[in-house]
Amino acid sequence: MIRLNNLHKSYGIGSTSLHVLKGIDLHIGNGELVSIMGASGSGKSTLLNIVGILDTYDEGEFILDGKVIKHMNETQAALLRNQYIGFVFQSFNLISFKNAVENVALPLYYKKVSRKKRNIMALEYLDMMGLKDWANHLPSELSGGQKQRLAIARALISKPKIILADEPTGALDSTTSKEVMEIFKEINKTGITVIIVTHENEVAMSTNRIIRLRDGLIEHDNLTPEMLKQHHNVLLTTQSN
């Protein structure tokens, strides 16, 4: 589904250049539930944005479902995003003046689905997320967990092949985080590839494959929960000393 070969990305900051991704080689197959971990600045969000075609890369190769994603204009990128990818963000990124059903239905508007049909579908997805009673509420009237479930419903409604989640539990408490992760697992069971960027071990451990980035490179792929725990303990010991 996703193949990255020797991927490089730099950002220009003033006169200097920050080399964020320094040659990523990665393959994520169909229906995988993957988490990407790493310290701040390791490049995990940049990697997710490139995979989500929200950002471009400088060197290397990115192949999505057999298509080389390179030199793409914004219109082509938008169409691919709409076809393949659903996004879930830490800050939810809901449109504040649209109610729940309108927010969920919005991706279908860009897929030229009729208003009536997209509203019916939006209500179905809200129901799936347990938010049917909140359909006419604005995002500001919802709790953090509800907002994230709403964002997940929006990501799912266009039936994407991949869900990309950037710190989806970052703004949630532990109970709500677990609920959200359960939802991701359920989504993954339907065959959708789910890639979650997180810095939380609990979140990572509930995925099937853990990738750790360090300084723009993959430090570990297929990190087992035990290795993660061990690494976590080492970190805790280092911090307490």
Applying CB under 8 A, the residues found at the interface with another protein are 49, 52, 54-56, 74-75, 78-79, 81-82, 87, 89, 93-95, 97-98, 102, 106-107, 109-111, 114-115, 154, 158
Nearest to 216 by CA among 38, 15, 64: 38
Q: Taking the complex as a whole, how short is the minimal distance between the CB of residue 144 and another protein, in angstroms?
A: 18
CA torsion, points 217, 11, 64, 92, in degrees to nearest 10? 100
Whole-angstrom distance, CA of residue 81 vs CA of residue 104: 16
Using N-to-C axis directions, what is the helix angle for 174-189 and 144-157, rounded to 10°? Answer: 10
Residue 4 or residue 223: which is nearer to another protein going by CB?
Answer: 4
Tell me the three state secondary structure of residue 60.
strand
Residue 110 or residue 143: which is nearer to another protein going by CB?
Answer: 110
Residue 89 or residue 209: which is nearer to another protein going by CB?
Answer: 89
Q: Taking the complex as a whole, how short is the minimal distance between the CB of residue 181 and another protein, in angstroms?
A: 22
Q: Taking the complex as a whole, how short is the minimal distance between the CB of residue 151 and another protein, in angstroms?
A: 10
Contact 210, 223 (CB under 8 A): yes
Return the amino acid letter for 222: N
Whole-angstrom distance, CA of residue 180 vs CA of residue 16: 39
Residue 119 or residue 201: which is nearer to another protein going by CB?
Answer: 119
Q: Taking the complex as a whole, how short is the minimal distance between the CB of residue 128 and another protein, in angstroms?
A: 18
Q: Taking the complex as a whole, how short is the minimal distance between the CB of residue 69 and another protein, in angstroms?
A: 14
Residue 126 or residue 210: which is nearer to another protein going by CB?
Answer: 126
Provide CB contacts within 8 A for 230, sequence distance 6+: none
